[in-house]
Structure 1
Amino acid sequence: MTEHHTKITTFYPRRGRVSGRHEDALARLLPRYGVTIPGPPLDLPALFGRAAPVVLEIGSGMGDATVAMAQASPERDFLAVEVFPPGLGNLLAVVEEAGLSNVRVASGDALELVRHMLAPESVDAIHVFFPDPWPKLRHHKRRLIQRVNVTLLASRLKPGGTLHCATDWAHYAEQMLEVLGADPALQGGIVDRPRARPVTKFEQRALAAGRSVIDLIFVKRA
């Protein structure tokens, strides 16, 4: 018997207006720096042109954090996944302006990429910064940090690799702590914001609105 699974989307497919600068970046640079989802299994050393620690960033937004971290850690490679075209365009434009060679981008469903395109124990870190909180109770099933998704993400981490989440929604942080803490492959908890995680414009707006930001870091057991 064939099992049928209902796919639950964990992101809202916003479009937004793509500026001329971002449209140009998408047209010129996506073929060079982009990964297609769905696609064949990724050969990460071939994708980046070297064998180096790889960070998967799920939901890179406008790319502020990605660029800052890639500049600060040239020894690491960053694969940023985003569904918002203006964000991808901005990230690509800044990557070119900064002359970064350690960033690649993917447009589409990050879980699709993780499930079908990443090999087990192939990445050194996964960043999930400010995922859609889906605040309404009936939409909580769409939150990215769910048991089955965390199991999948943990399976792609190398032993000793880190899963770093951040949110400005207290209830979501509670759910993250519960779900991440229940996964037998992971250990960790709430931490102060690591200096390595840049404060983005999105985070500044959240803080200005009076919302606290919670960071959680879990490490995959060896």
Structure 2
Amino acid sequence: MNPSSHDSPESTTGPEGPDAPLHRRGIKSYVLRAGRMTQAQNRGLEEVWPRLGLTLADGRQNLDDLFGRMAPRVVEIGFGMGASLVEQAERHPETDFIGIEVHMPGVGKLLDEADKRGLTNLRVYREDAVAVLEQCLPEASLDSVQLYFPDPWPKKKHHKRRIVQPAFVALIRSRLKPGGTLHMATDWQAYAEWMAEVMEAASGFANMATVETAPYVPRPAFRPLTKFEARGEKLGHGVWDLIYRRID
């Protein structure tokens, strides 16, 4: 997941312009962290990956061929340890899901769980999300893109690393079907405000919030409540959901 960035200090104080390049050498929206792998995670990578894993080398996908059917298609960017995505795929067998995550333990965990639950409507990339969107997913092929709790990069000097930037949003719009949605959630209010600023300036989107709650929406039932989020709610911490629909 590579948000674009200007190198000048001014670029750290707000989102970039829509013409900024998506790939700028050395700036990423994520940091790869080393982590111990459990037996189950290793099993997922070794035994399940050959069946459910995808790479950039696989090229542009025909999603009907990939899943063997025509169905609604949802992409989740940065699924972490995968609990939310697995739950959605199990709840909605009529929908096909593609998860994108760079951290190996999370990918292994997701694959292990998907196999144990017998899920056939889920595929996984362990790649940069921008590269997957650009190189592998066809235009106007997705019904929804989900971006739940991305790294907020709270320090001002790191704002250029935030994945939600105008160029990234424009790329997502090109991959959504008309009427498709971009659903974001964050527990950092300042990042929620940033997301809203980027989306309100983006062309081709309509906010799905009501006048009473705009620019945010209540957490929809289809987004599972994470353990982290449930603990935060008990402590009075806020979570902000934003849903925008592609209108052209």
- Shorter-normalised TM-score: what interval? over 0.9
- Structure 2 partner of 1:172: 191
Distance 1:33 1:209 in 2: 38
Pair 1:9–1:195, CA change in 2 (3 A): same
Distance 1:29 1:79 in 2: 15
Give % identity.
45
Matched residues, number = 220
Partner-residue secondary structure (3-state), 2:216: strand
Distance 1:29 1:4 in 2: 32
How far did 1:19 drift?
0.6
Moved over 4 A (4+): none
- Structure 1 partner of 2:83: 64
Indicate the structure with greater strand content.
Answer: 1
How far did 1:39 drift?
4.1
TM-score (norm 2): 0.84
**1:204 is aligned to 2:242:** no
TM-score (norm 1): 0.94
**Mapping of 1:9-158 within 5 angstroms?**
9-37=28-56, 39-158=58-177
Partner-residue secondary structure (3-state), 1:191: coil
Partner-residue secondary structure (3-state), 1:190: coil
**1:183 is aligned to 2:239:** no
Conserved 8 A contact 1:52-1:75: yes
How far did 1:4 drift?
11
Counterpart residue type for residue 52 of structure 2: Y
In structure 1, runs of 5+ residues without a counterpart are none
1:89-113 per-position Cα deviation (integer Å, ceiling 9, x unaligned): 1111111111111011110111110
Pair 1:95–1:151, CA change in 2 (3 A): same
Counterpart residue type for residue 153 of structure 2: W
Superposition RMSD on alpha carbons, in Å?
Answer: 1.7
Using CA pairs under 8 Å that are at least 6 residues apart, name the structure with larger relative contact order, 1 or 2: 2
Pair 1:140–1:56, CA change in 2 (3 A): same
